[in-house]
Amino acid sequence: MMGPAHSLSGAAAWLGVGAAAAYFHHPMPWPTLVVGALLCAGAALGPDLDHKPATISRAFGPLSRGLCEIVEKLSLGVYHLTRGKGDPHRNGGHRTLTHTWPWAAMCGAGASAIAVYGGRWGVLGVLFVHIVLAIDGLLWWEVRGHHHLLVWMLGAAGAWFLAGVLADPGMGQSWLFTQPGQHYLWIGVPIALGSLVHCIGDALTVSGCPVLWPIPIGRKRWYPVGTPHFMRFHAGSWVEVRLLMPLFVGLGGVGFAAALGLLG
């Protein structure tokens, strides 16, 4: 799928988690719901860091472009080192390592560690990166053609404000993980979820997605998991733009209302 659909699906997924948390009597404070939706929307662009034309590879200028080069080569190297007898030869690393559950878990764990051990500045850094990505994904039409500096400023302002809100007792810093030293540990959850949602979205397209690596399926370790072929579509097609994106918006709205207890 394309960036906007990935971001919308990520936000909708976290709002769905918020609805489920409310149903099971463990509701999120509104800052956790909002911040988590932004983190998940931004993280849903993350796996495409192995693809030069992707939104995330252009979001931070030379820094993200250079990181994309490294990640793409690393992904290709891991693919060739671990591919099974049935996996084809590849010349590029797109839709390999970053499109797997271990990568999603690593991203979530890394974000949690930065937030927990980095203190306020760690939280600000994680929020800034993912809010910038969320803006690029969710508001792609509005920011298209504008200089990245504007998006960075919006991301920095949003991160500063939301980090300040979360820091107030009872406003979400210790949601889900309540023991001493576990403040902000939950921040990795929407980031891991966003990465997985990206993989699920790509599994709906014609190429599929090797999300289950390194679990072997048949003679392949990089088996492209997907729906039946007649149900798949090309990225950017009318199915994605006219059907799935409105569906994600609708599901997100329902999840948001349910998470805040407005439907019961």
- DSSP string for residues in the chain: --HHHHHHHHHHHHHHHHHHHHHTT-PPPHHHHHHHHHHHHHHTTGGGGG-TTSHHHHTTTHHHHHHHHHHHHHHHHHHHHH--TTSPP-S--TTSGGGSHHHHHHHHHHHHHHHHHSHHHHHHHHHHHHHHHHHHHHTHHHHTTS-HHHHHHHHHHHHHHHHHHHHSTTSSTTSS--STT-TTGGGHHHHHHHHHHHHHHHHTBTT-B-TTTTS-BTTBSS--B-S-GGG-B-TTSHIIIIIIHHHHHHHHHHHHHHHTT---
Q: What pLDDT was estimated at residue 1?
A: 73
Confidence (pTM): 0.93
Q: What pLDDT was estimated at residue 229?
A: 86
Q: What pLDDT was estimated at residue 173?
A: 78
pLDDT, tens only, 164-223: 999 887 777 788 777 777 889 999 999 999 999 999 999 999 989 999 999 999 999 999
Which of the residues in the chain have pLDDT under 50? none
Q: What pLDDT was estimated at residue 264?
A: 63
Q: What pLDDT was estimated at residue 68?
A: 95
Q: What pLDDT was estimated at residue 145?
A: 60
